[in-house]
Structure 1
Amino acid sequence: MRLLLPYAGPYDWQAMLGFLARRAIAGLEVVQGEAYARSFELDGQSGTLSVRPGPGEQLDVRFQSAGQDLSPQLIGQVVMRVRRQFDLDADLQRIARELAGDELLQPLLRSRPGLRVPGAWDGFELAIRAVLGQQITVQGAIDLAGRLVALHGRPLACGDPLWPGLSHVFATPTALASADLAALGMPRSRARTLSGVAQALLDDPLLLEPKGSLQQGVQGLLQLSGIGDWTAHYIALRHMREMDAFPAADVGLLNAMATLQGQRPNARQLLARAEAWRPWRGYAAQHLWAAGG
Structure 2
Amino acid sequence: MDPNDCYRAVSARDARFDGVFYTAVRTTGIYCRPSCPAMTPRQANVTFYPSAAAAERSGYRACRRCRPDSTPGSPEWNARADVVARAVRLIGDGVVEREGVSGLAGRLGYSERQVNRLVTTELGAGPQAIARSNRARTARILLETTTMRAADVAFAAGYGSVRQFNDSIRESFDLTPRELRARSSRAAHPGAGRLRLELALRPPFHADALLDWLAPRAIEGVEAIDGRTYARVLNLPHGVGAVELTLGDDSVSAELELTDLRDLAPAVQRCRRLLDLDADPVAIDEALAVDPLLADLVREAPGMRLPGQVDGFEMVMRAIVGQQVSVAGARTILGRVARSRGTEVDLELARRHGLTHAFATAESVAEAAPEEFAMPRGRATAIISVAHAVASGELDLHPGADREAARASLLAIRGIGPWTADYVRMRALGDPDVLLETDLVLRRVLAREGLDRTRTERWRPWRSYASLHLWRVA
Q: Could you tell me which of 60, 70, 80 is aligned with 2:261? A: 70
Structure 1 residues 218 and 184: CA distance shift in structure 2, 3 A: closer
Q: Distance in 1 between matches of 2:364 and 2:413?
A: 19
Distance in structure 2 (CA, Å) of the matches to 1:199 and 1:213:
19
| SS of aligned partner of 2:352 | coil
Q: Does 1:19 align with 2:201?
A: no
In structure 2, what is the Cα distance between the partners aligned to 1:186 and 1:254? 26
Match status 1:219 vs 2:408? yes
Query: Unaligned stretches of 5+ in structure 2?
Result: 1-194
**Structure 1 residues 159 and 226 mapped into 2: Cα distance closer, same or farther (>3 Å)?**
farther
Gap regions ≥5 residues in structure 1: none
Partner in structure 2 of residue 87 of structure 1: 276
Aligned match of 2:456: 274
Distance in 2 between residues matched to 1:184 and 1:69, nearest whole Å? 32
Structure with the bigger percentage of helix? 2
Q: Aligned equivalents of 2:351 and 2:366: distance in 1?
A: 33
* Secondary structure of the structure 1 residue equivalent to 2:231: strand
Is the partner of 2:232 in helix, strand or coil?
Answer: strand
Q: Deviations over 1:107-165 (max 9, x none)?
A: 11111012111111110110111111122221221111111111111211435365242
Q: Which residue of 2 aligns with 1:247?
A: 436
1:98-247, aligned counterparts within 5 Å?
Answer: 98-160=287-349, 163-204=352-393, 207-209=396-398, 214-247=403-436
Is residue 2:471 matched to residue 1:284? no
Q: Which runs of 4+ in 1 moved over 4 A?
A: 210-214
Q: Which residue identity lines up with residue 70 of structure 1 in the other structure?
A: L
Q: CA deviation at 1:180?
A: 2.2
SS in 2 for 1:277: coil
Aligned amino acid, residue 291 of structure 1:
V
Name the aligned partner's letter for residue 11 of structure 1. Answer: F
Partners of 2:457 and 2:233 in 1: how far apart? Answer: 39
Shift of 1:232: 0.9
Cα separation, 1, equivalents of 2:400 and 2:247: 32
| Contact persistence 1:117–1:238 (CA under 8 A) | yes
* Residue in structure 2 matched with residue 53 of structure 1 by the alignment: 247
Q: CA deviation at 1:41?
A: 2.3
What residue in structure 1 maps to residue 93 of structure 2?
Answer: none
Aligned CA distance change for structure 1 residues 181 and 27 (closer, same or farther; 3 Å): farther
Give the aligned partner of residue 204 of structure 2: 10
Q: Tell me how far apart the structure 2 counterparts of residues 57 and 69 of structure 1 sit (CA, whole Å).
A: 30
SS in 1 for 2:441: helix
TM-score (norm 2): 0.56
Decide which structure has the larger Cα Rg and report it.
Answer: 2
- Is the CA contact 1:47–1:63 (under 8 Å) kept in the aligned structure 2? yes
Select between 208-217 and 168-177 the one with higher mean Cα deviation.
Answer: 208-217
Sort the Cα spacing of 1:211 and 1:248 in 2 relative to 1 into closer, same or farther, 3 A: farther
Say if 1:90 and 1:205 are closer, same or farther in 2 by CA, change over 3 A.
Answer: same
Instruction: Give the Cα separation in 1 of the matches to 2:208 and 2:469.
Output: 14
Q: Aligned pair count?
A: 280
Q: Describe the SS at the equivalent of 1:118.
A: coil
SS in 1 for 2:292: coil
Contact 1:211–1:217 (CA under 8 A) maintained in structure 2:
no
Q: Is the 8 A contact 1:210 1:217 kept in 2?
A: no
Mapping 1:252-267, distance limit 5 Å? 252-257=441-446, 261=449
Contact 2:221–2:357, Cα closer than 8 Å, also in 1: yes
Aligned-partner Cα distance in 2 for 1:285–1:197: 26
Q: Distance in 1 between matches of 2:401 and 2:266?
A: 22
**Percentage identity across aligned positions?**
37
For normalisation by structure 1, the TM-score amounts to 0.89
